[in-house]
Amino acid sequence: MSDVRVTEGSVQVEGCSSPLFFRQSEPVSAASRLSVLLLHGVRFSSENWLNIGTLEVLAKTGCRCVAVDLPGLGRSKAAEPPAPIGQLAPAHFLKLLCESLDLAPAVIISPSLSGMYSLPFLMQHPSMVRAYVPVAPICTEKFTAEQYQSVEVPALIVYGDQDSQLGEVSLNNLKNLTNHRVVVLKGAGHPCYLDDPDTWHKALVDFISAL
């Protein structure tokens, strides 16, 4: 019998045309220590976090994790995105999502495309973010160094050293976050967590355990 429970569900977010699909993992025997919200990139979905074991790994450390399929993607295809891809989504989208799922304050894990959602949320609702784990997210150039410096939320900046585009661009902006550390996955590309799940999970568990 597993010590981790993984379930599926859907959540209706106010202003979203259709419900959003999500996967949830949590420890079976103990109360959750932390909440984690896992977002994803444009070619991916919550299924990736299930397949590489992130949902299970984090639940085993005592976290309640929710991996959501973002609007227009994965099993949330019917939901209309609140902004076109590449533009900043309204910060209240993730605020309403976290409130609906009773996640706040949450550790936000945000690769690639999901930066359009997580960055406005981080800037406008930092009290709802326990920690921030950006993985080469888009839209980092849409904020100033001063805006990043005003954020005191602990951050773990992760990217693959073979991600010559978004890895370096996002790092140059995100390194202005006041309270951050950087983990570079050697030999890994843009979705570096898929290329090296073991190093990814170790970095994540070490970071979350120290919160």
> Could you tell me whether strands 180-185 and 155-160 are parallel, antiparallel, or unpaired per DSSP bridges?
parallel
Residue 181: CB atoms within 10 A of its CB come to 14
Under 8 Å between Cβ of 167 and 141: no
SS (H, E, C) 138-178: CCHHHCCHHHHHCCCCCEEEEEECCCCCHHHHHHHHHCCCC
- 139: nearest Cα among 174, 164, 98, 97: 174
Helices (H) and strands (E) in the chain, counts: 8, 8
Question: In the structure encoding, which two tokens stand for residue 119, read together?
Answer: 């960055």
* Active-site residue set: 112, 163, 190
Under 8 Å between Cβ of 148 and 171: no
Alpha carbons within 13 A on the beta-carbon side of 15: 13
- In whole angstroms, give the CA distance from residue 162 to residue 185: 9
